[in-house]
């Protein structure tokens, strides 16, 4: 279960880290996970696009991706969004924390809240509309990812920071990311921690440190190269 504090920005006491910043959480989500993953260009011309995220949290990243996908794709294109979450929030918590962006997401937020699964461990497949499917996996990503079968096009690596949540950023995660990726699959993450860059590089990804959002100096992006590069 979540351990989010009652006051102020949503913050985990256990991991001493915030879910997002209240002032510019949406701008940061768009910059770090969409722009830095080369979206919407990456899904142009693809009938199906698969995003996999570590740490669903409030669903802010999911809602930003959902909105951009619908705004920039043609009718037959589909988005499958898969997200792991070890400490799922309650519907009432998500509603409270995303209230600030109710106008921005409109019906999509209501549809997400109305279809949010019971907090039971395991895989929950949710068809939100004819274009968008969400698979929520309520489990530790390292326990569940070996059971995932998917062809992922983009990774959103958004667990709490490696300094307080080192267990999430494991070799199991990085190796399974490589297993589920194809040449050209990209990832982005808010952190530039050495253990993350080294782990992804050892798993076969090209890894690059780039400028972060706002006052954050660095973040990390990368791609699985083709076998002969
Ligand atoms: C910074 S928050 C994510 C914010 C989220 N993407 C959003 O849009 O609100 C990090 C999330 O990672 C989850 N998490 C931390 N360790 C995890 C693990 N080992 N497996 C799965 N989820 C984990 C936390 O519970 C938290 O919801």
- For residues 82 and 62, give the distance between their C-alpha atoms in angstroms, rounded to a whole number: 9
Q: What are phi and psi of 195, to 5 degrees?
A: -65, -30
pLDDT for the residue numbered 215: 84
* pTM of the model as a whole: 0.95
Distance 177 CA to ligand 1 centre (A): 17
Atom from ligand 1 closest to the CA of residue 84: 21
| Element holding 97 (H helix, E strand) | helix 91-97
Residue nearest to ligand 1 atom 5, measured at CA? 57
Distance 59 CA to ligand 1 centre (A): 10
- The CB of 28 under 6 Å from ligand 1? The reply is no
How long is the chain? 229
> For the segment 113-141, what is each residue's pLDDT rounded down to a tens digit?
999 999 999 999 999 999 999 999 999 99
- Give the pLDDT of the chain (229 residues) as one tens digit per residue: 445 544 456 888 888 888 887 668 999 999 999 999 999 999 999 999 999 999 999 999 999 999 999 999 999 999 999 999 999 999 999 999 999 899 999 899 999 999 999 999 999 999 999 999 999 999 999 999 999 999 999 999 999 999 999 999 999 999 999 999 999 999 999 999 999 999 999 999 999 999 999 888 899 999 999 875 5
Alpha helices in 73-225 (DSSP H): 91-97, 102-105, 107-115, 141-144, 171-180, 194-202
Distance 158 CA to ligand 1 centre (A): 6
> 10 Å Cβ neighbour count for 204?
17
Instruction: State CA 43 to chain mean position distance.
Output: 16
pLDDT for the residue numbered 6: 47
- The CB of 61 under 6 Å from ligand 1? The reply is yes
CB 223 within 8 A of CB 205: yes
- The CB of 51 under 6 Å from ligand 1? The reply is no
- The CB of 10 under 6 Å from ligand 1? The reply is no
pLDDT for the residue numbered 9: 60
- For residues 84 and 172, give the distance between their C-alpha atoms in angstroms, rounded to a whole number: 14
Distance 45 CA to ligand 1 centre (A): 31
> For the segment 87-120, what is each residue's pLDDT rounded down to a tens digit?
999 999 999 999 989 999 989 999 999 999 999 9
Residue nearest to ligand 1 atom 11, measured at CA? 55
- For residues 42 and 221, give the distance between their C-alpha atoms in angstroms, rounded to a whole number: 14
pLDDT for the residue numbered 18: 86
């Amino acid at each position: 279960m979540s351990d989010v504090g009652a006051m102020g920005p949503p913050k985990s006491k256990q991991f001493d880290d915030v879910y997002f910043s209240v002032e510019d959480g949406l701008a940061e989500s768009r910059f770090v996970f969409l722009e830095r993953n080369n979206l919407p260009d990456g899904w142009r011309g693809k009938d199906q696009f698969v995003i996999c995220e570590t740490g669903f949290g409030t669903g802010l990243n999911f809602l930003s991706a959902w909105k951009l996908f619908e705004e920039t794709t043609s009718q037959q294109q589909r988005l499958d969004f898969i997200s792991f979450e070890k400490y799922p929030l309650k519907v009432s918590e998500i509603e409270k924390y995303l209230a600030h962006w109710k106008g921005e997401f409109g019906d999509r937020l209501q549809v997400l809240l109305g279809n949010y699964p019971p907090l039971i461990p395991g895989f929950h497949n949710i068809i939100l509309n004819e274009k968008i499917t969400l698979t929520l996996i309520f489990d530790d990503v390292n326990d569940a990812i070996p059971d995932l079968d998917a062809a992922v096009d983009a990774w959103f690596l958004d667990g709490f920071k490696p300094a307080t949540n080192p267990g999430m950023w494991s070799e199991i995660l990085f190796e399974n990311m490589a297993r589920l990726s194809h040449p050209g699959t990209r990832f982005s993450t808010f952190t530039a921690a050495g253990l993350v860059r080294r782990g992804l590089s050892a798993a076969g990804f090209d890894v690059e440190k780039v400028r972060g959002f706002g006052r954050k100096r660095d973040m990390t992006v990368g791609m699985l190269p083709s076998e002969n590069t």
